Amino acid sequence: MAILANNNTRVLVQGITGTQASFHVRRSLDYGTKIVAGVTPGKGGTEHLGIPVFDSVAEAMQQTGANASVMFVPAPAVRGAAQEAIEAGLDLTVCIADGVPIQDMLEIRRMLKDSHTVLIGPNTPGIITPGEARLGIFPENIHRKGRIGVVSRSSTLTYEAVLEINRAEMGQSTVIGLGDDMVIGMDFIEALDRFADDDETDAIVLIGQLGGMFEEVAAEHYKNMNHKKPVIAFVPGNTVPFGHKMGYAGDIISDGKVSAQDKKDALSDAGMVVVDRISHIHGTLQKILS
């Protein structure tokens, strides 16, 4: 089971022939991920790393039965690649690129509204279900199969969370990096819902980030969930020194609630266990699940 990706997920790679794509596709294949197709316009009919390459996502889906994709295309090409993935009707698409223009993401979000596709990212390490599928750039060797779900807005702290779960002598069901851009696809709410429905997940580690009100909204949702699982949450940035600001609009839109403490308070009020240090996760996990 796990969520969103497992060993039945048939993955196609958009922009498969690039250097970085090749490096990570090889690793994902070694990990056992079912990568069935690549898409690079103009290179249809060729093979790359032993995988058939097609000109379009639709063609690759038809020929190989792919149902998910990883985009390794550069930021300016993301809008087009996402549109292709959404229009072709993939269940899941993961966008690795850093630097996608915000308006492009707003347009992508509008396309997603009328489709069933789930988009993870951009600017994310992706999603990994240990022992089954790696869609993205996760350092796969640190992951262990287990029953803790991870969802994080911070890429680097996702890895810290995974190491903490390992320290607790537990493992991960699925690990999702939501990405840390201004506008993202999947959010905490969807991840919490999916983990709640997954019978291979016992508890969730949630890592927040400064900026936006994603944590506040997630807290409100968690409070109202009918059947929920324990969540351990961490938000860095308690001691963040003064950063230069420009105007007030950014603070007004979040009702002046912008600090890590505001987020932690919201998560804690909703019934999540908030830890002050990332290294407290393993002990807290052991306590909660014993």
The residue count for binding another protein (CB under 8 A) is: 68
> Residue 1, interface with another protein (CB under 8 A)?
no
DSSP for 82-112?
Answer: HHHHHHHT-SEEEE--S---HHHHHHHHHHH
Whole-angstrom distance, CA of residue 79 vs CA of residue 89:
15
> Residue 243, interface with another protein (CB under 8 A)?
yes
Q: How far is the CB of 161 from another protein (least distance, A)?
A: 10
Q: How far is the CB of 44 from another protein (least distance, A)?
A: 27
Which stretch in 47-55, 131-139, 192-200, 223-231 sits in contact with another protein by CB under 8 A? 131-139
Looking at 113, 224, 246, 290, which residue binds another protein (CB under 8 A)? 246
Radius of gyration of the chain (CA): 19
Looking at 157, 231, 270, 274, which residue binds another protein (CB under 8 A)? 157
Looking at 30, 102, 223, 287, which residue binds another protein (CB under 8 A)? 102
Phi and psi torsions of 86, nearest 5°: -70, -45
Q: Between residues 100 and 148, which has the closer beta carbon with respect to another protein?
A: 100
Looking at 156, 261, 268, 286, which residue binds another protein (CB under 8 A)? 156
Q: Which regions of 125-283 does DSSP assign to beta strands (E)?
A: 126-129, 133-136, 145-152, 172-177, 203-207, 231-234, 273-274
Phi and psi torsions of 205, nearest 5°: -105, 125
